[in-house]
């Protein structure tokens, strides 16, 4: 077994809670005592065992080919450590989601790819609909990843979570005015809301979650209320919505959490000013919880190295890989025992996640688009 150096800096506990807890901006404690370091060392040393790395299995495939729509520097550490632990080399092609899907389709059964990684349950569902994934039965993945954050049959798995939250101008909006997604449709926000287009998968997944909670008619009515409140036609990405609030173009916006955390880490004066002006509300804390989505992936049906692919996916659910995978895009680990290494993200506090299964977010994408079109959300 290869022993790796233990992490030099233990990090804050994972901030996602499934039990009701008010969103807080108080930074969590950062324990520096030896117990956590020892726990990390033990976890790391026992990793091959936890991953089920039987010697015969580990010798089957010496390479795993990864198609990834992720491209973060911390992912390098993931791949290097996986190779150190297993001797399996990681080849990867990083490109946009669309380019990778097109490549997989054109390569067909001759594709060299073993694993496909992307973001948002809606996109994972699209890959599933194209028949790209092979269901994977893995006691490791099934025991470590909450059922809500993977498909029931192992078609794909979430490996980190992001929340879709409400951003608001601290000077113009009181937090209680934007405490729920339903508030976004309230007439008091008329002419004060910035959103991106309805066709983007993040909004389709949010709408899918609204359909799950409110039913078809309720979700459509909500979308009509949102459209009635827009300050300008939908355009740009999530960061553009945050900038719209900071610039006074609107008072309230919808954004994924990691875009805000990126700005928290920025040294540019305008970004620092934005974080001072704009706060986040984790909606529906008193009721159903905040909408969460995943970065994730799965085993490809045509994988030439399915055993190496399984080991790689199981590695992504290990305590140490979880920390790096989540940190790459300022997201939260899905594994309860994993530690976050992200003080800015941790400073957002703990929150209650909605219970909707991410697999439902994909299934409801076509209906979500139909209802958003009907509501006039461009
Ligand atoms: Fe994004």
Quick: pLDDT tens for 45-66: 344 444 544 444 444 689 999 9
Taking the centre of ligand 1 as the mean of its atom positions, its distance from the CA of residue 85, in whole angstroms, is 31
Contact of 318 with 53, CB cutoff 8 Å: no
E strands of the chain, at which residues?
16-17, 63-68, 89-94, 115-119, 157-169, 193-194, 252-256, 278-281, 292-299, 332-333, 351-352
Integer angstrom CA distances of residue 340 from 15, 55, 68, 318, 322: 8, 31, 22, 13, 8
- What was the pLDDT predicted at 18? 32
Ligand 1 mean position, distance from CA 325 (Å): 15
Average pLDDT over residues 98-112: 95
Question: For 264-285, what is the mean pLDDT?
Answer: 98
277 Cα–ligand 1 center, Å: 22
Calculate how far, in angstroms, residue 368's C-alpha sits from the geometric centre of ligand 1.
Answer: 19
Tell whether the torsion through CA atoms of 375, 96, 72 and 246 is positive or negative: negative
Which one, of 331, 363, 308, 249, lies nearest residue 72 by Cα?
A: 331
Kindly state the average pLDDT of the residues 253-273: 97
As given in the structure block, the two tokens for residue 335 are 């594994």
Question: How many other CB atoms are found less than 10 A from the CB of residue 169?
Answer: 18
Is the pLDDT at 304 greater than 90, yes or no? yes
Strand, coil or helix: 32: coil
Res 31: pLDDT = 30
Closest CA to 67 of 94, 47, 48: 94
Residue 25, pLDDT above cutoff 50: no
CA of 248 to the centre of ligand 1 (A): 23
R_g of the chain computed on alpha carbons: 21
The residues, ordered by sequence, that sit 6+ positions from 230 with a Cβ below 8 Å of its Cβ are 191, 193, 194, 195
Confidence check: pLDDT of 91 > 60? yes
CA 52 / ligand 1 centre spacing (Å): 33
Reported CATH class of domain 162-291+349-375: alpha beta
* DSSP string over 130-145: TT-B-----HHHHHHS
Segments of the chain assigned to CATH 3.40.190.10? 15-160+294-339, 162-291+349-375
Q: For residue 258, what are its two tokens?
A: 């990691």
107 C-alpha vs ligand 1 centroid, how far in Å? 27
- How far does the centroid of ligand 1 lie from the alpha carbon of residue 201, in Å? 10
Asked if CATH classification 3.40.190.10 holds for the domain at 15-160+294-339, the reply, yes or no, is: yes
For residue range 163-218, list pLDDT tens digits in order.
999 999 999 999 999 999 999 999 999 999 999 999 999 999 999 999 999 999 99
Please give the Cα distance from 157 to 137 (Å, whole number): 11
Distance 23 CA to ligand 1 centre (A): 22
Residue 73 DSSP label? T
- Residue 67 phi/psi, 5° resolution? -105, 120
Q: Note the pTM of the prediction, 2 decimals.
A: 0.84
Average per-residue pLDDT for the chain: 86
- Ligand 1 center to residue 59 CA distance, Å? 37
């Amino acid at each position: 077994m290869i022993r790796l150096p233990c992490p030099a800096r233990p990090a804050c506990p994972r901030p996602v809670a499934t039990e009701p807890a008010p969103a807080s901006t108080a930074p969590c404690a950062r324990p520096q005592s030896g117990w956590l370091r020892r726990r990390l060392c033990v976890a790391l040393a026992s990793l091959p065992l936890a991953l089920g790395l039987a010697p015969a299995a580990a010798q089957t495939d010496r390479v795993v080919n990864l198609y990834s729509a992720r491209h973060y520097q911390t992912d390098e550490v993931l791949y290097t450590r996986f190779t150190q632990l297993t001797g399996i080399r990681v080849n990867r092609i990083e490109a946009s989601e669309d380019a990778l899907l097109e490549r997989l389709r054109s390569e067909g059964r001759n594709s060299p790819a073993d694993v496909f990684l992307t973001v948002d349950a809606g996109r994972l569902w699209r890959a599933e609909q194209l028949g790209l994934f092979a269901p994977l039965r893995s006691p490791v993945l099934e025991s470590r990843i909450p059922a809500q954050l993977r498909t029931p049959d192992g078609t794909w798995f979430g490996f980190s979570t992001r929340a879709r939250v409400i951003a608001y101008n601290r000077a113009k909006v009181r937090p209680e005015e934007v405490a729920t997604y339903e508030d976004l449709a309230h007439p008091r926000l008329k002419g004060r809301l910035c959103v991106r287009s309805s066709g983007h998968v993040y909004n389709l997944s949010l709408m899918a979650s609204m359909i799950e909670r409110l039913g078809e008619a309720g979700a459509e009515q909500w979308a009509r209320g949102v459209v009635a409140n827009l300050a300008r036609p939908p355009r740009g990405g999530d960061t553009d919505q945050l900038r719209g609030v900071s610039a006074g173009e609107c008072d309230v916006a919808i954004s994924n959490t990691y875009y805000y955390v990126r700005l928290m880490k920025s040294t540019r004066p305008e970004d620092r000013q934005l974080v001072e002006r704009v706060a986040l509300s984790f909606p529906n804390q008193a009721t159903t919880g905040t909408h969460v989505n995943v970065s994730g992936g799965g085993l490809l049906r045509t994988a030439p190295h399915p055993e190496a692919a399984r080991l790689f996916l199981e590695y992504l659910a290990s305590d140490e890989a979880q920390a790096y995978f989540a940190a790459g895009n300022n997201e939260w680990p899905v594994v309860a025992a994993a530690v976050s290494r992200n003080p800015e993200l941790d400073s957002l506090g703990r929150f209650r996640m909605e219970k909707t299964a991410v697999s439902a977010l994909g299934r409801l994408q076509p209906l979500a688009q139909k209802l958003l079109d009907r509501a006039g959300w461009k």
